[in-house]
Structure 1
Amino acid sequence: MCNDASQEWEIRCDLAAAYRLIAHFGMDHLIFTHLSARLPGKERRFLLNPYGMMFDEITASSLVVVDPDGHTIQPEEESKISSAGFTIHSAVHMNRDDVQCVMHTHTLAGMAVAAQEQGLLPLNQMSMAFYGSIAYHDYEGLALNLEERERLVSDLSDKDAMILKHHGLLTVGRTVSESFLNMYLLEQSCRIQITATQGGQEIALPSDDIVAHTAAQFKQNQYNRSPRPWAALKRRLDRISPDYAT
């Protein structure tokens, strides 16, 4: 059985890998947005990126440990974390015992869909995976008000994906891998929607029965919990960006 120290290093490596992969697939936003992962133990501590580093610079050892009150474990690192990042991530980590990892992005496609009245449409089998299981949270300004946390987790409820209106995307997972695969699928769904609708042409939607059937297939298949995609993605990183695990 792994001890807490070895478990923490494994989580650090996986989260650093996720940062590199978010950058690799064009889902980062300069030094902004954030990914977090809860550490083992009862203290509900979690890892967050040091504010000011690009996602393709993040390493396992550079991640900052934060407590539920927004304080870093090392006082000298207090200025290194994003206040908005803490608001969003602490909300989920304090209220969802089933969640280890939270990811939040500001992608062009994600923000565009977040501005559309109808939300995410079931235009493709990727987006059908979220049928009936995606949450929405109304925009309240920059996420600096800790009181927003209660409304954010209420809107998220037990779902694993959420569109923050006029803001961006958020996914959670029981592992870093699961949260990343949720985000990748949600991002691709948004890219498909913007591409399909940008010319103003009429779009075709499948029947509700087919959409529900496809969503059930995704749930049964548990695509986002298979170890194979994550193992393949980390092999890619080992080839092109191996220092993530340092």
Structure 2
Amino acid sequence: MATAIRRNTQWSESEWQARQQLAACYRVFDMLGWSEMIYNHITVKLPDEEGAFLINPFGLHFSEVTASNLVKIDIDGNKLDDNPWPVNRAGFVQHSLFHRNLPDAHCIMHTHTTAGMAVSSVEGGLRPTNFYACNFAGQIAYHDFEGVTVRDEEGPRLIEALGDKRVMLLRNHGILVMGRTLPEAFVKHWALQRACEIQVATAAMGTPIEVPAEVVAVHQRDLYMAQAHAEPGKADFDAMVRKVDRIDTSWRD
């Protein structure tokens, strides 16, 4: 992703780059139809500040997020800048939990897409019945719905349900993915969303054909050979940012 010249010296270069990448991601999500009014969240840890991460301003649509209006908060939800926008507690409680407890969860994405919510709301969840679903066989955690995620006491159950996985379907709720980088989380979300969309379409046509476990194993073993860059998701994400830039570059400010 091309990086614009830093326009505000109140932030370090590393923070400004993190802000631009995250703002671009919000615009990409909106372009792909993954917005949900003013709700849902994508967060990233700041590389040079222990326990600090960026989150979207509560009240803005994804299409309005920019590098400079992202809110910086600590792991306890305290603002670390003078940003006037509030933070959605439903986003803070869930994201801070994982940022606090999982060192490799650099980026966390949570959405309420129609397909993601639909698949999370059926018995069996995601089944290995299409190419993208086979990516995730044996790699998805599930957590039962307990209501809107605003209560800290749900945290231990979320952590227990996640275990050693970094992709979760929140039952009756939606998609949750994590990545060591934002592009890695992005390509996971994209593939999971595609898997869910295709499963919903397939279910409308008849009885789905499940891929045998031994074929799934070969598929997952060889997936890296279909990757365009050494960093998972980088080429995919950069392509989407270029497309966003042809529509609107205001996210860079």
Instruction: Verify same fold: TM over 0.5.
Output: yes
Whole-Å separation in 1 of the counterparts to 2:196 and 2:108: 19
2:189 counterpart (153, 158, 183): 183
The answer as to 2:217 corresponding to 1:217 is no
- 1:173 equivalent to 2:182? Answer no
Runs of 5+ consecutive residues of structure 1 not aligned to the other structure: none
Equivalent residue for 1:131, pick from 137, 150, 158: 137
Task: Please tell me the residue identity of whatever aligns with 1:213.
Answer: V
Aligned twin of 2:48: 41
What does 1:88-107 correspond to in 2, within 5 Å? 88-107=94-113
TM-score, normalization by structure 2: 0.90
Aligned to 1:208: 213
SS at match of 2:157: helix
**Residue of structure 2 in register with 1:74 after alignment:** 81
Which structure 2 residue ranges, 5 or more long, are not aligned?
1-10
Aligned pair count?
A: 241
Q: Percent of aligned positions with the same letter in both sequences? A: 38
Aligned partner letter, 1:240: I
Contact 2:107–2:185 under 8 Å retained in 1: yes
The CA deviation string for residues 47-92 of structure 1, in whole angstroms up to 9 with x for no partner, is 0000010001110111000111111113664x61000000110011
In structure 1, what is the equivalent of residue 7 of structure 2?
Answer: none
SS at match of 1:102: strand
CA shift, 1:186, in A, is 0.6
Tell me how far apart the structure 1 counterparts of residues 37 and 139 of structure 2 sit (CA, whole Å).
30
Indicate the structure with greater helix content.
Answer: 1
Determine which of 243, 248, 251 is the counterpart of 1:236.
Answer: 243
Matched, 1:11 2:37: no
**Alpha-carbon shift at residue 161 of structure 1 (Å):** 1.1
Contact 2:119 2:200 in 1 (8 A): yes
3-state DSSP of counterpart to 1:129 = helix
Q: What RMSD over aligned residues (CA atoms) do the two structures have, in Å?
A: 1.7
Question: Could you tell me whether the CA contact under 8 Å between 2:145 and 2:171 is conserved in 1?
Answer: yes
| SS of equivalent residue, structure 2 residue 136 | coil
Give the aligned residue type for 2:193. Answer: E
Amino acid at match of 2:61: M
1:60 partner SS: coil
CA contact (8 A) 1:14 1:177 kept: no
Contact 1:13 1:59 in 2 (8 A): yes
Instruction: Verify the 8 A CA contact 2:14 2:48 in the aligned structure 1.
Output: no
Q: Is the 8 A contact 1:135 1:156 kept in 2?
A: yes
- Structure 1 SS opposite 2:158: helix
Cα–Cα, structure 1 residues 32 and 133, in superposed 2: closer, same or farther, change >3 Å?
Answer: same
What CA distance in whole angstroms lies between the structure 2 residues aligned with 1:94 and 1:12? Answer: 20
CA deviations 1:201-242 (Å, max 9, x no partner) are 111112111012112222565677152212212211221121
Deviations 1:2-44 (A, max 9, x none): xx81111111111111111111111111101111000023521
The residue that corresponds to 2:125 in the other structure is 119
